[in-house]
C-alpha cells in the first residue's frame, strides 16, 4: 500500500488540474480531451474541487482532494467504506458543515465561484446544487404534490396555483413517477413504495431547477427493479444536469457513469483520491494498482 | 441432523424459566400497585362527586354566597378556570416553542443557560410562582385579578411545554432534517413547515401536559386571582377557578353542601383534563392517518 500524504498519484492523474489552477478565474470552458481518449466530445467542467480537506471534529475524513466534475455527465465516486465518498459529496453543496463540529478547507468552484466564499449563502448553494440521499426522505406530513411543490414555493421558484400544477407534473414526469402517482397526488408522500419515494425525492430536488444533482448512494435502500428505474432516470437526466453519484456498487458505477473517481482510506484514516478518469478506463485499464485491486475485488 | 436440531431447540432449563416468569409476575404486581391509588382516587371522587354533577344547575349557576347553603353551582369557577388557563396557554405556548426552537436550532451557551433556568423553573414550588406574581403584578396593579392568575399559570406551564417541545424537535429524524436543509430552505422555513408539522403530535401532547398541569394548580392562584363568588369574564377582576373553589369548599366540608360542591368540582376538573387528553389523542391520531395513507 503506497499511501503518502504528498501523493505522487494525485500529481500523475490530474494534468488538467494544473491547467485550471493556472487559470485564476477558474472560468469553466472546454478542456482538452484526456490523452488516453475515449471517443467522447470535449466536455465542459461544471465544478472544480481544489485541495479539499474535511474534518469531523479532530478527525480528518477527506484529505486534499482535487477533481474536475464534467457538466451534463455522470461522475461516480467509488471506494471502500470510510474512504470519505459521502463526505466529499456533502462538501459539494455545503451539507458537510451541517454536522456539528464538521469543517472543511480548500475550494469548491462552481462556474468559477468558490461556494465557500464568505459572501455566499449556504442555502443558495443548495438550491443550485440539489441532493438526493441514501434513505428516501419525503416529508411525511406533506402530500405527494406538496413534497414537490412546497420547497419550490418556499424558495420562490413558482408563484400561483397554475404554475405549481405545471411544475409538479413536469418534475414528476421528469422523475418517471407521474404515471404512477397522477391519480393520488393528495396522498401522503410516505404512502409510496421505497423506489417511488426515492423518485419523489428526485422530483422534489428537480423542482428547484438545480444545475447539479448530488446523489448519495441513492439506490442502496432500493430493490433491483427500483434501482434499475433510478439508473435509467439518471441516464435521461444527464442531458440537462450534472450528476455526481456516490455508490458502493461498482457495477452501478460502470453502468451509469461517464467518469469515475476512486477514493480510498489512507494510513491516517482520511480518504484521498487515488485516481479519476473515464469510467471505461478506470474499469478496464486503471493506472493505479490500488484501483485495480479494488475493482477486481481484492480489497474493500 | 434432525437430532441436532432437536437438541438446539431443547426446552430451556427450569431455572431460567422460573426466573423469567418471576420477572413477569413482579412487573404485574408493580403495575397493580401503581394502579391502586389511581383507581381509588378517581373512584372516590366519582362516587362522591357524581351527585352534584347530575344536575345541570351545577354547571350553569353560581355558588351561593354562603358556602353552607345548598344549591347553586360552579359556573363562575368553571368559566374562570377555562379563561385563565386559556390565556395562560396563549402566553406560554409561543414562548415555549420559541425557546425550544432556539435551543435545538441555534444552541450555544445562551440556549444552555436558558435550558438550565427552565429546569430550575420546572422544579420551583408553584406557590413561589404565586408569590412572584403577587409582588410583581398584584401589588403593582393594586388588586387581585384573573390576569395575574393567568400569568402565574403561564409560568407554571412554560417549562413543561418547553421541555417536551425541545425533546420532540430534537427527535426530528435526521434524514428529514437534512432533506430540508439540502433543499435550501431557510432555517425558519424548515422549522415551521417541516420540523414542527413532523413533531406536531408530540408538541400537542406537550401542550396538553402543560394545560393539565396548570389547570389543576391552586397555589399560584391563591395570591393572584384570589377567587370570588361572582360570575365575571373581566380579567381585571378577581376570578374564581375550580381548584380555588374546591379548596375553599373542602375547608368547610363540615357542611354537606360545601363538601358535595367540592367533590363535584373535583370530578368536573378530572373530566376536563381527561377530555383535553382524549381530544389531543384524537386530533393527532387523525392527523397521522391523513399524513400517510398507507
Chain A nearest C-alpha distance from B198 (Å):
6
| Residue B106 at interface with chain A, using a CB cutoff of 8 Å | no
Helix (H) or strand (E) holding A215: strand A212-216
Query: Could you tell me the CA-to-CA distances from B93 to B96, B104, B172, B199, B278 in Å, in that order?
Result: 5, 16, 19, 15, 20
Q: Which residues of B touch A130 (CB under 8 A)?
A: 182-183
Whether A155 and B293 lie within 8 Å, measured CB to CB:
no
User: What's the grid cell of residue A152?
Assistant: 419550490
CA distance B90 to chain A (A): 25
ipTM over 0.95 threshold: no
Q: Which helix (H) or strand (E) holds A273?
A: strand A271-278
User: Best interface-test mutation with B: which of A146, A151, A153, A184 has the largest number of B CBs within 10 A?
Assistant: A151
Does the structure show a pLDDT above 60 at A180? yes
DSSP H or E segment with residue B224: none
Output the average pLDDT for chain B: 89
Place of cell 458505477: A253
**Can you give the pTM of this predicted structure?**
0.75
Of B137 and A34, more confident: B137
Interface test with A, best of B184, B201, B286 (most A CBs within 10 A): B184
What pLDDT score does B248 carry?
A: 92
The owner of cell 396593579 is B141
Report chain A residues whose CB lies below 8 A from the CB of B290: 188
Provide, as residue numbers in chain A, all residues whose Cβ is less than 8 Å from the Cβ of B175: 133, 135, 137
Q: Is B71 on the interface with A (CB under 8 A)?
A: no
Q: For residue B162, what is the enclosing H or E element?
A: helix B146-170
Phi and psi dihedrals of B23, rounded to 5? -65, -45
User: What is the average pLDDT across A139-163?
Assistant: 92
Q: What percent of chain A has pLDDT over 90?
A: 71
Over pLDDT 90: what percentage of chain B? Answer: 57
Residue A208 to residue B185, Cβ atoms within 8 A: no
Contact criterion met (CB below 8 Å) for B73 and B61: yes
Provide the shortest C-alpha distance from residue B282 to chain A (in Å): 17
Give whichever of A221-230, A277-286, B194-203 has the largest mean pLDDT.
A277-286
Q: How far is CA A103 from the centre of its chain?
A: 19
Inter-chain touch B184–A124, beta carbons under 8 Å: yes
Chain B: closest CA distance from residue A13 (Å): 31
pLDDT above 70: residue A175 = yes
DSSP A31-66: -PPPSS--SPPP-BEEEEEEEEEEEETTEEEEEEEE
Q: What angle do CA A97, A102, A105 make, to 5 degrees?
A: 80
Find chain B residues with C-beta within 8 A of A188's C-beta.
Answer: 290-294
Q: How much is the CA Rg of chain A, to the nearest whole Å?
A: 19
Nearest to B182 among A126, A150, A154 (CB): A126
Asked whether the beta carbons of residue A188 and residue B290 sit closer than 8 angstroms, the reply is: yes
Bridge partner list, A55: A60, A103
User: Can you name the residues that pair with A216 across neighbouring β-strands?
Assistant: A246
Q: How far apart are CA B271 and CA B249, in angstroms?
A: 19
CB pairs below 8 Å between A and B: how many? 76
Q: Are B179 and A140 in contact (CB under 8 A)?
A: no
List of chain A residues whose C-beta atoms are within 8 Å of the C-beta of residue B291 = 140-141, 188, 190
> Among partner residues B173, B186, B194, which is closest to A123 by beta-carbon distance?
B186
Strand order in the sheet with A59-70: A113-114, A102-110, A45-56, A59-70, A271-278, A259-265, A74-78, A242-246, A212-216, A129-132
A4 pLDDT band, cuts 50/70/90, is: very low
> What pLDDT was estimated at residue B3?
65
Q: How far is B289 from chain A (nearest CA, A)?
A: 9
CA distance B214 to chain A (A): 30
Question: What pLDDT was estimated at residue A41?
Answer: 54
Task: Kindly report, residue by residue over B88-100, the tens digit of the pLDDT.
Answer: 999 999 999 999 9
Contact A112, A26 (CB under 8 A): yes
Task: Give the model's pLDDT for residue A106.
Answer: 95
Contact A112, A25 (CB under 8 A): yes
Distance CA A86, CA B119 (A): 39
Q: Which residue has the cell 423542482?
A: A207
Give pLDDT, residue B130. 94
Which of B184, B292, B293 faces A126 most closely, judged by CB atoms?
B184
Residue B292 is predicted with a pLDDT of 42
Q: Whole-angstrom Cα distance, residue B235 to residue B214?
A: 17
Q: 10 Å Cβ neighbour count for B50? A: 12
Query: Given a cut of 60, is residue A30 above it in pLDDT?
Result: no
For B25, other C-beta atoms within 10 Å of its C-beta total: 10
Q: What are phi and psi of B211, to 5 degrees?
A: -60, -45
The residue count of chain B comes to 294
User: Considering only CA atoms, which of A41, A27, A179 is closest in space to residue A109?
Assistant: A27
Of A124, A133, A208, the CB nearest to B179: A133
Taking CB atoms and an 8 Å cutoff, what residues of chain B touch A140? 176, 198, 291-292
Number of alpha helices (DSSP H) and beta strands (DSSP E) in chain B? 15, 0
pLDDT single digits (tens) B18-27: 888 899 999 9
Which of B181, B185, B189 has its CB closest to that of A95? B181
Residue among B184, B194, B294 whose CB faces A155 most closely: B184
What confidence category does residue B287 fall into, taking pLDDT thresholds of 50, 70 and 90?
Answer: low
* Distance of residue A55 Cα from the nearest chain B Cα, in angstroms: 18
Chain B's closest residue to A127, CA to CA, is B184
The residue written with cell numbers 373530566 in the block is B271
Distance from CA of A103 to the nearest CA of B (A): 17
Q: Chain A neighbours among B 158-217 (CB < 8 Å)?
A: 173, 175-176, 178-186, 189, 193-194, 197-198, 200
B128 touches chain A (CB under 8 A): no
Amino acid at each position: 500500500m503506497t499511501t503518502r500524504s504528498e501523493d505522487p498519484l494525485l500529481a500523475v492523474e490530474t494534468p488538467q488540474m494544473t491547467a485550471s489552477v493556472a487559470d485564476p478565474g477558474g472560468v469553466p470552458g472546454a478542456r482538452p480531451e484526456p490523452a488516453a481518449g475515449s471517443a467522447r466530445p470535449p466536455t465542459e467542467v461544471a465544478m472544480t474541487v481544489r485541495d479539499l480537506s474535511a474534518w469531523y471534529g479532530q478527525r480528518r475524513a477527506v484529505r486534499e482532494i482535487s477533481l474536475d466534475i464534467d457538466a451534463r455527465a455522470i461522475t461516480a465516486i467509488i471506494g471502500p467504506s470510510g474512504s470519505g465518498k459521502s463526505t466529499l459529496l456533502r462538501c459539494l453543496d455545503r451539507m458537510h458543515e451541517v454536522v456539528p463540529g464538521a469543517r472543511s478547507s480548500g475550494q469548491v468552484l462552481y462556474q468559477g465561484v468558490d461556494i465557500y466564499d464568505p459572501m455566499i449563502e449556504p442555502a443558495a448553494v443548495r438550491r443550485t446544487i440539489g441532493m438526493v440521499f441514501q434513505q428516501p426522505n419525503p416529508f411525511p406530513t406533506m402530500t405527494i404534490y406538496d413534497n414537490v411543490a412546497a420547497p419550490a414555493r418556499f424558495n420562490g421558484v413558482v408563484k400561483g396555483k397554475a404554475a405549481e400544477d405545471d411544475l409538479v407534473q413536469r418534475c414528476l414526469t421528469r422523475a418517471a413517477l407521474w404515471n404512477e402517482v397522477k391519480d393520488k397526488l393528495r396522498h401522503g408522500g410516505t404512502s409510496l413504495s421505497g423506489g417511488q419515494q426515492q423518485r419523489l425525492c428526485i422530483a422534489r430536488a428537480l423542482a428547484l431547477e438545480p444545475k447539479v444533482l448530488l446523489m448519495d448512494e441513492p439506490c442502496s435502500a432500493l430493490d433491483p427493479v427500483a434501482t434499475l428505474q433510478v439508473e435509467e432516470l439518471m441516464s435521461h437526466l444527464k442531458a440537462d444536469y450534472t450528476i455526481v453519484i456516490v455508490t458502493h456498487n461498482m457495477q452501478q458505477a460502470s453502468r451509469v457513469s461517464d467518469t469515475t473517481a476512486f477514493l480510498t482510506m489512507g494510513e491516517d484514516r482520511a480518504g484521498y483520491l487515488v485516481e479519476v478518469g473515464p469510467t471505461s478506463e478506470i474499469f478496464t485499464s486503471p493506472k493505479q494498482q490500488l484501483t485495480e485491486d479494488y475493482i477486481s475485488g481484492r480489497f474493500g | 441432523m434432525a437430532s441436532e436440531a432437536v437438541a438446539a431447540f431443547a426446552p430451556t432449563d427450569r431455572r431460567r424459566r422460573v426466573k423469567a416468569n418471576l420477572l413477569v409476575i413482579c412487573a404485574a404486581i408493580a403495575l397493580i400497585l401503581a394502579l391502586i391509588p389511581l383507581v381509588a382516587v378517581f373512584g372516590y371522587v366519582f362516587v362522591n362527586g357524581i351527585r352534584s354533577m347530575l344536575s345541570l344547575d351545577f354547571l350553569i349557576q353560581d355558588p351561593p354566597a354562603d358556602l353552607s347553603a345548598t344549591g347553586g353551582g360552579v359556573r363562575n369557577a368553571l368559566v374562570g378556570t377555562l379563561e385563565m388557563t386559556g390565556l395562560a396557554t396563549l402566553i406560554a405556548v409561543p414562548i415555549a416553542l420559541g425557546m425550544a426552537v432556539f435551543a435545538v436550532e441555534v444552541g450555544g451557551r445562551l440556549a444552555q443557560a436558558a435550558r438550565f433556568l427552565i429546569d430550575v423553573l420546572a422544579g420551583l414550588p408553584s406557590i413561589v410562582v404565586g408569590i412572584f406574581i403577587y409582588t410583581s403584578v398584584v401589588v403593582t396593579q393594586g388588586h387581585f385579578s384573573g390576569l395575574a392568575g393567568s400569568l402565574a399559570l403561564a409560568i407554571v406551564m412554560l417549562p413543561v411545554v418547553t421541555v417536551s417541545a425541545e425533546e420532540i424537535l430534537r427527535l426530528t429524524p435526521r434524514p428529514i432534517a437534512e432533506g430540508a436543509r439540502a433543499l435550501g430552505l431557510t432555517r425558519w422555513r424548515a422549522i415551521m413547515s417541516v420540523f414542527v408539522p413532523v413533531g406536531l403530535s408530540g408538541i400537542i401532547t406537550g401542550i396538553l401536559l402543560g394545560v393539565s398541569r396548570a389547570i389543576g394548580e391552586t397555589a399560584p392562584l391563591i395570591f393572584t386571582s384570589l377567587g370570588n363568588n361572582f360570575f365575571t369574564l373581566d380579567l381585571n377582576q378577581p376570578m374564581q377557578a375550580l381548584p380555588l373553589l374546591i379548596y375553599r369548599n373542602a375547608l368547610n366540608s363540615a357542611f354537606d353542601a360545601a363538601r358535595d360542591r367540592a367533590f363535584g368540582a373535583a370530578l368536573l376538573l378530572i373530566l376536563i383534563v381527561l377530555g383535553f387528553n382524549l381530544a389531543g389523542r384524537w386530533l393527532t391520531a387523525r392527523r397521522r392517518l391523513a399524513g400517510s395513507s398507507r
